[in-house]
């Protein structure tokens, strides 16, 4: 099926006149109603993005980290050949994040008495059952349940301890990264008048989650610092959090409020909402994983 181009339509990447679904000059695929449906995204884009990886990865990573919203904006406009696809980028970010934080990692957003995980929390592999629960228990609920199951001790050791930790990871890690669908659904509800295609919001959510994962990995060295270096640790944590908020605000402004009045303030409000929703989702999934693992002790 050939797309129906308006008279004088040109390629978004090179500006050549359009005659079919692909630009005859540079090969860019033309964006139309068909290419922006969920069906096309799953059946034609998903597999290709997962299987292939090329040098565009490094350009994509630099642009993702230091030019907020640009990759999403280019994707929506149909200029996609310079960058790897959002699925491939997210999978790479997930893989590196999980590999980097395997030895134990915790990143928390504190709102008064409420503590939320902003990224998947990895219990230390050599820790006890109780230490594993303490890593993911934000409200003291799991610890009380654990006490009812094993008393006041550290819990099983050896193979049983490893199986307990693995059950948490097997349940929590895949489901936690599903927050991309949670966030994209929320963005679609809020901004479907600005961007009527759900796939555009899904791609933006993938880029946001990939950025959050990569930037959060910069917090890992903070756990290596000694207590005497607390000032350096605090500066590193505040620097990463400030960067994330500034980045999200800028990205949201470019995608959803490019010409709106008071755009930066409105974008900052949405950034805070995304941060909180992400924390609620990640924390909820990890609490559920811990609860199910305790039931099997």
User: Is 220 domain-assigned?
Assistant: yes
Domain limits for position 63: 55-297
pLDDT of residue 256: 93
**Model confidence at 2: pLDDT above 50:** no
* Percent of the chain residues topping a pLDDT of 90: 20
Are 287 and 137 within 8 A, CB to CB? yes
Average confidence score pLDDT of the chain: 82
Predicted confidence band of residue 126 (pLDDT cuts 50, 70, 90): confident
Q: Which runs of E-coded beta strand occur in the chain?
A: 108-111, 114-117
For the entire predicted model, the pTM comes to 0.76
**Model confidence at 122: pLDDT above 90:** no
Phi and psi of 265, rounded to 5°?
Answer: -65, -45
User: Is 59 domain-assigned?
Assistant: yes
User: Is 69 domain-assigned?
Assistant: yes
Q: Which runs of E-coded beta strand occur in 67-117?
A: 108-111, 114-117
**Model confidence at 153: pLDDT above 70:** yes
pLDDT of residue 50: 56
* Percent of the chain residues topping a pLDDT of 70: 86
User: Is 195 domain-assigned?
Assistant: yes
Predicted confidence band of residue 172 (pLDDT cuts 50, 70, 90): confident
User: Is 134 domain-assigned?
Assistant: yes
Q: Averaged over 76-95, what is the pLDDT?
A: 88
What CA–CA distance (Å, rounded) separates 29 from 79? 9
Q: What is the pLDDT of residues 42-84, one digit of tens each?
A: 666 665 665 555 667 888 999 999 999 999 999 998 888 889 8
DSSP calls for 24-48 = TTT-PBPP-TGGGSHHHIIIIIIHH
Q: What is the pLDDT of residues 8-19, one digit of tens each?
A: 578 877 878 877
Q: Work out how many domains the chain is built from and give that number.
A: 1
**Model confidence at 188: pLDDT above 90:** yes
Residue 140 neighbours by CB under 8 Å, 6+ apart? none
**Model confidence at 86: pLDDT above 80:** yes
pLDDT of residue 4: 52
User: Is 12 domain-assigned?
Assistant: no
User: Is 11 domain-assigned?
Assistant: no
pLDDT of residue 31: 72
Closest CA to 118 of 288, 275, 290: 275
Token digits of residue 62:
């630099």
Q: What is the pLDDT of residues 192-226, one digit of tens each?
A: 999 999 999 999 999 999 998 898 888 877 766 67
User: Is 14 domain-assigned?
Assistant: no
**Model confidence at 180: pLDDT above 60:** yes
**Model confidence at 178: pLDDT above 90:** no
């Amino acid at each position: 099926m050939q797309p129906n181009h308006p008279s004088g339509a040109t390629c978004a990447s090179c500006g050549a006149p359009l005659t079919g679904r692909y630009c005859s000059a540079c090969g860019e695929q033309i964006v139309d109603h068909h290419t922006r449906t969920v069906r096309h995204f799953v059946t034609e884009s998903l597999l290709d993005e997962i299987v292939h990886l090329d040098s565009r990865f490094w350009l994509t990573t630099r642009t993702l980290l230091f030019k907020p919203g640009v990759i999403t904006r280019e994707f929506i406009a149909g200029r996609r050949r310079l960058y790897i696809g959002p699925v491939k980028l997210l999978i790479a970010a997930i893989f590196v994040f999980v590999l980097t934080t395997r030895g134990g990692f915790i990143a928390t957003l504190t709102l008064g008495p409420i503590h939320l995980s902003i990224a998947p929390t990895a219990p230390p592999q050599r820790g006890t059952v109780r230490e594993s629960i303490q890593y993911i228990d934000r409200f003291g609920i799991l610890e009380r349940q654990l006490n009812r199951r094993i008393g006041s001790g550290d819990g099983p050791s050896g193979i049983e301890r490893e199986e307990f930790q693995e059950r948490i990871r097997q349940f929590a890690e895949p489901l936690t990264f599903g927050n991309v669908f949670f966030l994209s659904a929320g963005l679609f509800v809020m901004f479907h008048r600005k961007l009527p295609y759900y796939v555009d919001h899904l791609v933006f959510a993938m880029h946001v989650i990939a950025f959050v994962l990569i930037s959060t990995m910069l917090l890992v060295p903070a756990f290596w610092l000694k207590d005497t270096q607390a000032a350096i640790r605090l500066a590193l944590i505040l620097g990463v959090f400030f960067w994330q908020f500034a980045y999200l605000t800028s990205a949201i402004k470019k995608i959803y409020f490019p010409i709106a009045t008071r755009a930066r303030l409105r974008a900052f409000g949405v950034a805070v909402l995304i941060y909180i929703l992400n924390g609620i989702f990640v924390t909820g999934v990890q609490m559920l994983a811990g609860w199910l693992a305790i039931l099997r002790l």
